[in-house]
């Protein structure tokens, strides 16, 4: 529920997955489903989403730093994002579709790089108390498949250059989070065709939207 209003009219959706999972391919499809239902939609991303957040994103993607520093910068960007974009949009009646949210920090900086979960969870309670996505879509692929996809793309950023073992830890953390909150998470096999993945996500979102609007 929202930190400011437990009865907010906007639906909050985040897409998650390791680099190379195919997450970005599905973002516009999610937006299209919601708009087809007559919803106003704000598409955004993390880290980023604001002027300050985008500057922090450049540091995170290209500047080497300690994992704890990464985590703190992620939440610094997220604070601006929540206050300036996410909360105002949700309270104003718009749905928010976000390319990653706090689940990514728990998976990458926590599961992948070993920052203690209790520290990350404390930061989450400070930055967005009570605010969680209503729907979290995890596009799940084995790290080896993701690595093959990344090898065929543009020049990779600092995270995309991480090892297969790193992404195995990130993936495991994502799956643990999903197993702990099955009502909130949808795990989709990302090795299927983009059309098949899109179909599964579309059907899930339509059902989630019906439940959300009936509350």
What's the burial of 172, exposed, middle or buried (CB within 10 Å: 0-12/13-18/19+)? Answer: middle
Q: What is the pLDDT of residues 42-68, one digit of tens each?
A: 999 999 999 999 999 999 999 999 999
Whether the Cβ atoms of residue 18 and residue 170 lie closer than 8 Å to each other: yes
Q: Which two tokens stand for residue 167?
A: 């992404």
The topology under which CATH files domain 12-214 is: Rossmann fold (3.40.50)
Q: What's the average model confidence in pLDDT over 86-98?
A: 96
- Checking if the pLDDT of 4 tops 50, the result is no
Q: What's the average model confidence in pLDDT over 78-86?
A: 98
Q: Is 20 annotated as a binding residue?
A: yes
Q: Is 206 annotated as a binding residue?
A: no
Question: What is the edge-to-edge ordering of all strands in the sheet holding 95-99?
Answer: 41-45, 95-99, 12-16, 135-140, 185-189
Q: Is 24 annotated as a binding residue?
A: yes
pTM of the model: 0.92
Q: What is the pLDDT of residues 140-177, one digit of tens each?
A: 999 999 888 887 766 777 887 888 899 999 999 999 99
pLDDT for the residue numbered 1: 34
Lowest mean pLDDT among 4-13, 99-108, 115-124: 4-13
Q: Is 19 annotated as a binding residue?
A: yes
């Amino acid at each position: 529920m929202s930190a400011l209003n437990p009865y907010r009219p906007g639906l909050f959706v985040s897409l998650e997955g390791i680099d190379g999972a195919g997450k970005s391919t599905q973002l516009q499809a999610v937006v299209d489903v919601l708009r087809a239902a007559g919803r106003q939609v704000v598409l955004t991303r993390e880290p980023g989403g604001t002027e300050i957040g985008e500057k922090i994103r450049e540091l995170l993607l290209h500047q080497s730093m300690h994992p704890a520093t990464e985590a703190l910068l992620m939440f610094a960007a997220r604070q601006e994002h929540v206050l300036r974009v996410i909360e105002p949009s949700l309270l104003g009646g718009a749905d928010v579709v976000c390319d990653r949210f706090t689940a990514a920090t728990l998976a990458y900086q926590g599961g992948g790089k070993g920052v203690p979960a209790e520290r990350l969870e404390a930061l989450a309670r400070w930055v967005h108390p009570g605010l969680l996505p209503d729907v979290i879509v995890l596009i799940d692929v084995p790290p080896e498949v993701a690595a093959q996809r990344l090898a065929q793309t543009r020049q990779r950023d600092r995270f995309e250059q991480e090892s297969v073992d790193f992404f195995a830890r990130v993936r495991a953390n994502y799956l643990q989070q999903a197993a702990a909150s099955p009502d909130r998470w949808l795990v989709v096999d990302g090795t299927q065709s983009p059309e098949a993945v899109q179909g599964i996500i579309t059907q899930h979102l339509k059902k989630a939207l019906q439940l959300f609007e009936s509350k």
